Structure 1
Amino acid sequence: MKNLFLASVAIVAISTAASAADLAPYTKAPAPIINPGVNWSGFYIGAMGGYGWSDHVRASIGGLTATGSTNDINGGFGGGTIGYNWQMSQWVFGLEADAAGADISDSDTALGVTLTEKVDAFGSATGRIGYAVGPALFYAKGGYAWADNKISASAVGFGTVFSESHFHSGWTVGGGLEYMFAPNWSGKVEYMYADYSNETYLGAFVPGGIGFGAAFHTVKAGINYHFGGPVVARY
């Protein structure tokens, strides 16, 4: 009886080991670790603000133009941004438009008369190309620029005696760094250079008027919200 019991135990043990061996090759392998990446494709909107200062100004009269370097026209600005990105591998292509209200100005007083030059608003419509490295996007951009500029004069005891605004067109180029710090949210820092063409002022006082144009540097920081497809992709 004892020998029969031991033989039964041995048979059960051998059968169990064989079954385990048969099942081993079919054990499911652990799931691979999937690394997250950032998808920049889609629409976005944002807010931005910064500081601007003049690089040079141009004045023309009677067909003659004089250009002078100055950073005296300066001040802050704030506004908004809208754009769209297409991403192919690590390359990102986009279109972007922005606009800002500004207080970029300079005033000079002589003989009781104060002359003020002020950029009230400006903006751009640009193309953008960038290279994505993880959540960071390094980019360059360039295109059309515009500015709403006002020149005014005031005299002691008379108030404002002259004020004239003109819309200036031009071009802009620059670049920056954008970083996706949370799902759908990115922050950016950006530098731009813009050159605005001459427009004619003081036509009612000076025969032929006086042409005025200028170029500016701007630095800005901003935050964008991204719509559309998933911002966090998997590969």
Structure 2
Amino acid sequence: MRKYLLAALVAGTVAAPAMAQDGRAPFTGPRIGAVVGYDNSQPGSSEDSDVEGDDQSVEGLLYGFDVGYDVNVGSAVIGAEAELTDSTGKVDVESTDPDTFGFGRVAADRDIYVGLRAGFLATPNTLVYAKGGYTNAKYNVLASDGETELDSDFELDGYRVGAGVERSFGNNTYGKIEYRYSNYSEAQFEFADGDETDDIGIDTDRHQVAVGVGIRF
């Protein structure tokens, strides 16, 4: 009889941590994932250079990865996150104005985001959330008037807000879809020789729709 009791006690002790781990609340702990989606950059409503074609959108494919840490507090979830992405977005700008560069290319480059998110559990495995934070993006500008060529990086600072839905598939995997809006209000030109300008005021909007998948630890 004692042997049976001892065996049951040992089995229960071994099984308890596994049950606790299996019963862990979803949307809790560190995570890492991949994101991909639609990327659109365009001039904001307060800026117009009067250069023909400067209002074209820079559209492309967004891709990259993100990391985060979430805490489940009852029916609410709060967390911090960071993201590094790139984009295939590129557009050619042309102008017949002899006082401006006659043609050029604007290409989206890397984008860094750091922020917070908070949401509520619509179901035990479905999180609806809002997010916001700081974003720093780069664009490459290549232009020429036939005699002089400009090749520089355009580094932009701004904020990002967004909202999304995340679905937990078990305790370790998840998928999500979200919309993000970014606005950049300050920028620097970084030239190929290493020189850079002081901060200048700009108004650039960025709209993104992204899907992501990832794992929790």
The alignment's TM-score, normalised by the length of structure 2, stands at 0.72
SS of the aligned residue for 2:150 comes to strand
Cα distance, 1:76–1:41 mapped onto 2, change above 3 Å: same
Read off the aligned partner of 1:144 and give its amino acid letter: Y
Asked if the contact 1:171–1:194 (Cα under 8 Å) also holds between the matched residues in 2, the reply is yes
- Counterpart Cα distance in 1 of 2:173 and 2:118: 19
Counterpart selection for 2:207 from 217, 221, 228? 217
- Where in structure 1 do 4 or more consecutive aligned residues deviate above 6 Å? none
The residue type paired with residue 192 of structure 1 is: R
Question: CA 1:113 to 1:129, structure 2 compared with 1: closer, same or farther past 3 Å?
Answer: same
> Is the alpha carbon distance of 1:82 and 1:210 closer, same or farther for their aligned partners in structure 2, counting shifts above 3 Å?
closer
Question: 1:214 is aligned with what amino acid?
Answer: T
Shift of the 90–161 alpha-carbon distance from structure 1 to 2, 3 Å rule, reads: same
Shifted more, 138-147 versus 102-111: the winner is 102-111
- Tell me the distance in 1 between the aligned counterparts of 2:117 and 2:82: 10
| Aligned-pair Cα RMSD in Å | 3.2
- Please tell me the residue identity of whatever aligns with 1:124: Y
Residue number in structure 2 paired with 1:180: 168
1:192, distance to aligned residue in structure 2 (A)? 0.4
Change (3 A) 1:188 1:149: same
Query: Residue 41 of structure 1 aligns with which residue?
Result: 28
| Percentage of matched positions with identical amino acids | 27
For the 8 Å contact 1:54–1:72, the answer to whether it is kept is: yes
Contact in 1 for aligned 2:155/2:189 (Cα 8 Å): no
Shift of 1:108: 1.9
Q: Is the counterpart of residue 82 in structure 1 residue 67 in structure 2?
A: yes
Q: Is the contact between residue 199 and residue 213 of structure 1 (CA under 8 Å) also seen in structure 2?
A: no
Report deviation, 1:221: 0.4
Query: Residues 1-235 of structure 1: matches in 2 within 5 Å?
Result: 38-57=25-44, 66=48, 70=55, 72-110=57-95, 113-132=102-121, 133-154=123-144, 161-201=149-189, 212-227=202-217
Offset from partner CA, 1:96-135 (integer Å, 9 cap, x none): 1001011222212346943112221112111110111211
Q: Give how far 1:42 is off.
A: 0.5
Larger radius of gyration: 1
Q: Which runs of 5+ in 1 are unaligned?
A: 1-35, 60-64, 228-235
Q: SS of 1:39's equivalent?
A: coil
Aligned residues: 182
Check 1:90–1:163 CA distance in 2 against 1; reply closer, same or farther (3 A cut).
same
The answer to whether the 8 A contact 1:57-1:67 is kept is no
Q: Distance in 1 between matches of 2:77 and 2:125?
A: 12
1:199 Cα shift?
A: 2.2
1:213–1:105 Cα change, 3 Å: farther
- Mark the CA change 1:108 to 1:177 in structure 2 (over 3 Å): closer, same or farther: same
Structure 2 CA distance, aligned partners of 1:150 and 1:53? Answer: 15
